[in-house]
Amino acid sequence: MIKSILFLGLVIAGCQSDDPMSPGDEVVRDPGQVSISPSPSEIDAPWFLIRPDKRVERGSGSQVLDNLPPGQYRLGWGAVPDWQSPTPNPELQALGSGAEITFSASYREIEEQTGSIAIDTTPDEINAPWTLEGPNGFYHEGSGDDVLNGRESGSYTITWGEVQDYEEQEAQQSWLDAGGRIDFGGSYVYQAPPTVGTILIDVNPDHINAPWSVSGPGGYANSGNGDVSLTDSPTGDYVVSFGTVNGWYSPVPTNVNVNLTDGELETVSGSWQEIGGPDPGDPQISGVNGQFNNGGAVTLTGSEFGTNALDIDSGVGPDGWIEANSQGTAINQLQDGSDWATYSTQQPPFIDGNR
């Protein structure tokens, strides 16, 4: 009895929790405020602010932004002619729930002779993005064509951004002399998106998880087991090959050619037959309603017709042999789709499958 009471006490104690929040409680995060204050105020310095939700706020000079969601904020100071941008640039700060943060920075007037930097992107309609870095922590983000005047002498590096369906551009570096000019050019080359389709491999029965392999254009190779959908496969000619499973006959044919076109779905099915049943590679005969009546029409399937077709053993013999009548036609003379009305049998038919 004492052991039972102690055990019950442990169970009750284990159910207690020090967490004051119930499972249905939600954390409420209040919006906050971000202040932006560059100096000197008369230069009306431009800036951009990337919010936690990836939205971008752009402006210039001093501003206060209210009702902003808590999270990480990234502010970048823009270029002002004849003024050196502040550092660090860009700047990161975290805004807490209901809190306030301030981005403040001072621009330094460039006293020595300055130069200019021209950025030219082609084609114009893609408005390609870029970032420019220079001496004393200079950093500027932009897009498309632009000219930055009043820049300090030194080394500058431009990094070109990605544009969908266009080849990537390598970064460029150049030196700006006092009173000089440098030109950065980004020529984007259109690269058509690859044409792709889907190959659906369907193996039966599912539970044997049969193996397969696929070869295709450009050295494409894949392999696996069971059903699979090969999405985003390059268009072209493929060969799907079905593997072996112990105790099962492999599909016929074992290699299937597939021509995959853009946006299309090609299904390749393979059926394995359990050994002990009919070999799917052997010829089969069938008649009206599955009956083999004397003189009735029957059809030969599953074999290659013509001179390479298998022979039927004729004559009276053990059960299962087929007897050819006086109008019999040799199996190797039949053509695909022809009626076979010249054979009769009193027993279930048997075809010499060269086993």
pLDDT, tens digit, for every residue of 305-318?
Answer: 333 333 333 333 33
User: Which residue ranges make up each domain of the chain?
Assistant: 32-109, 115-187, 196-274, 282-355
Handedness of CA 268, 272, 273, 278 (dihedral sign): positive
Q: Is pLDDT of 9 > 60?
A: no
The whole model's pTM is what? 0.48
What is the reported pLDDT for 338?
A: 44
Question: What integer pLDDT is reported at residue 277 of this predicted model?
Answer: 58
Question: What Cα–Cα distance (Å) separates residue 215 from each residue in 170, 223, 229?
Answer: 34, 9, 15
pLDDT at 254: 94
Tell me what the pLDDT averaged over the chain comes to. 78
Distance from C-alpha of 250 to C-alpha of 273, rounded to nearest angstrom: 7
Percent of the residues in the chain that have a pLDDT greater than 90, as a whole number: 64
Domain 32-109 top-level CATH class: mainly beta
Q: Span 115-187: which CATH code?
A: 2.60.40.10
According to CATH, the topology of domain 196-274 is: Immunoglobulin-like (2.60.40)
Tell me which residue of 110, 101, 166, 106 sits closest to 134, measured CA to CA. Answer: 110
CA torsion sign, 233 to 248 to 245 to 311? negative
Q: What is the pLDDT of residue 194?
A: 80
Report the candidate in 14, 10, 151 with the shortest Cα–Cα distance to residue 78: 151
Parallel/antiparallel/unpaired status of strands 248-249 and 228-234:
unpaired
Decide whether 115-187 matches 196-274 in CATH topology: yes
Position 342, amino acid: T
Burial of 130 (0-12, 13-18, 19+ CB in 10 A): buried
For 38-96, what is the HEC assignment? EECHHHCCEEEEECCCCCEEEEECCEEEEEECCEEEEEEECCECCEECCCCCCEEEEEC
Q: How many CA atoms lie within 13 A of 271 on its CB side?
A: 5
Please check the confidence at residue 83 and state whether its pLDDT lies above 60: yes
Q: How confident is the model at residue 144 (pLDDT cuts 50, 70, 90)?
A: very high
Count how many residues are written for the chain.
Answer: 355
